[in-house]
Structures are given as structure tokens and as C-alpha cells.
């Protein structure tokens, strides 16, 4: 889940803006919940990982 479209019940602003203490606490909780590997969970991260794997395989399979 992302905080882009979440609206805070305390300040009525977007949680991603972090206007109040409640927003900032929720942002911190969401970031901790996602963990360090969250960037690979999205489509762009998976495509980048796949391209890196193909590049490594191409280098290994290259005739000497």
C-alpha cells in the first residue's frame, strides 16, 4: 500500500505530505512494513532485475 492517496483523519491532508504527527507516524509505519526489498516489488524493479540477469548471462555465455 502506498500513502499517495491516503487522507489523514486528523489534518485532512494527504498522508504522503506528512503535515501532522499522525501522518508522519503512519508514513514511518508504512515504510517499516515494506522493508528494504520493497523497491524490487514493483514492475520497474522487476524489469531492472531481469535486465541485469540477462546482461550477466550474456557476458557469461559469450565465446572467449
pLDDT of amino acid 37: 67
Average pLDDT, the chain: 83
| 15's grid cell | 498522508
Average pLDDT (27-42) is: 75
* Residue 25 and residue 31 in contact, taking contact as beta carbons nearer than 8 Å: no
List pLDDT tens digits, range 39-60: 666 788 888 889 999 999 999 9
Distance CA(34)–CA(22), nearest Å, equals 19
* Residue 4 and residue 30 in contact, taking contact as beta carbons nearer than 8 Å: no
* Residue closest to 30 by CA, chosen among 14, 54, 52, 43: 14
Dihedral pair phi/psi, residue 7, rounded to 5°: -110, 130
* Residue 23 and residue 13 in contact, taking contact as beta carbons nearer than 8 Å: yes
Amino acid at each position: 500500500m502506498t500513502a499517495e492517496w491516503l487522507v489523514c483523519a486528523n489534518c485532512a491532508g494527504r498522508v504522503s505530505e506528512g503535515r501532522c504527527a499522525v501522518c508522519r507516524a503512519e508514513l514511518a509505519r508504512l515504510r517499516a512494513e515494506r522493508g528494504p526489498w520493497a523497491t524490487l516489488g514493483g514492475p520497474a524493479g522487476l524489469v531492472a532485475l531481469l535486465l541485469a540477469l540477462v546482461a550477466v548471462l550474456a557476458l557469461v555465455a559469450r565465446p572467449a
